[in-house]
Amino acid sequence: MAKILIVDDEKMICEEFREILQEDEHEVDTALNGEQAIHMVQEKQYDLVFLDVLMPRMEGSEVFSEIRKLSNVPVAIMSGFIPSHKEKEIIASGAVACFKKPLDLGKIKKLIQSVEDRGTVA
């Protein structure tokens, strides 16, 4: 069981994503903005963070930078549209994966399994 944080300003995406991951018995928290996500990473140790790129007030890249200052938690980026050059930049900056919405649940579950297999799950 992994401890996962989902960060997306679209509440419905957070809720649906959380329900799917909880069916696989993962512990899942959600944050609707970057500030909330940063606070949650400060307060709790996560095994994996799914982070939306486009959010109001604080974009995903800023949130990723702040999370990186606090933790080495694996971060997977999500977005409705990511140009291939931007996807390469995101991965080069240290993200473990880049997912386009709508999310491919098979790929999501493979990433979670990979994180669990690496032994980083608390």
pTM: 0.92
Determine what percent of the chain falls in helix, strand and coil, rounding each to the nearest 5: 45, 20, 35
Span 27-62, pLDDT tens digits: 999 999 999 999 999 999 999 999 998 888 898 889
Q: Which residue has the higher pLDDT, 91 or 111?
A: 111
Across the beta sheet with 97-100, the strand order is 27-31, 3-7, 48-52, 75-79, 97-100
Sequence-distant (≥ 6) Cβ neighbours of residue 60 within 8 angstroms: 7, 34, 51, 52, 53, 54, 77, 79
CB atoms within 10 A of CB 52: 26
Radius of gyration over every alpha carbon of the chain, rounded to an integer in angstroms:
13
Q: Which residue segments constitute the domains of the chain, with CATH numbers given?
A: 3-117 (3.40.50.2300)
Of 64-73, 77-86, 109-118, the poorest mean pLDDT is in 77-86
Which contacts of 111-117 are long-range, i.e. CB under 8 A and separated by 24 or more positions? Answer: 111/48, 111/76, 112/2, 112/4, 112/21, 112/24, 112/26, 112/48, 115/2, 115/47, 115/48, 115/74, 116/2, 116/47
